[in-house]
Amino acid sequence: MKFSGQLIAKHMARYPRMQLLDVYKLLHQAALGNSHAVSNPEEVIRRLESELLDVQGPSEPLWEPISPDGRLVRVHLRPYAAGKHDIQSLAMAVVQTAMNYPPAPERLAKFCACTGDLASEGILPFKRAEVVTFFEEIAEHGYPAVRHSKEYREAYKPSYRVVGLELLPPQVKSN
């Protein structure tokens, strides 16, 4: 629970409009990586180039860790584009992450099981019963991949890719 509590607390501080769906998406990515979002390398590059054409929204760090060991990160496209970093390098890192990051469904179940306690501790700004019910329903549906909530999308205009930190170019990692 220590990792998930710290991770969620950091994200709630940065993104106070997060909903339970967004908390779950964060935990899903931390445990399972990005393999659900990668169909083929050409599609990754095409979608990335298309998204980079319009990356308006709030500022955020170039990358932020989302896994317990810090090796899996969200690379935010606004600062990535502003820094004129190489799109092909990011696309290859996305694909390599999908092929190499070992999904851990048991870790996701563990992260989700702790969320009721996080609500009781005040880390999550939702009632414990609401949190427990939400995550029980997610478990019943087999922990599916989801989109961010409407509230989160409107407030933060998320535009990022989940990648292995070691796969990023040195100039990106050093930021």
* pLDDT given for residue 1 in this prediction: 52
* pLDDT given for residue 52 in this prediction: 80
pLDDT of 86 strictly over 80 = yes
Q: Do 105 and 20 contact (CB within 8 A), yes or no?
A: no
Of residues 41 and 34, the one with the higher pLDDT is: 34
Note the pLDDT tens digit of each residue in 101-144. Answer: 888 889 999 999 999 999 999 999 999 999 999 999 999 999 99
Write the CB contacts of 135 (distance below 8 Å, at least 6 apart in sequence): 20, 24, 112, 113, 115, 116
Write the CB contacts of 104 (distance below 8 Å, at least 6 apart in sequence): 31, 32
* pLDDT given for residue 16 in this prediction: 95
Question: 72 - beta bridge partners?
Answer: 164
Confidence of residue 39 (pLDDT cuts 50, 70, 90): low
Of residues 28 and 36, the one with the higher pLDDT is: 28
pTM of the model: 0.90
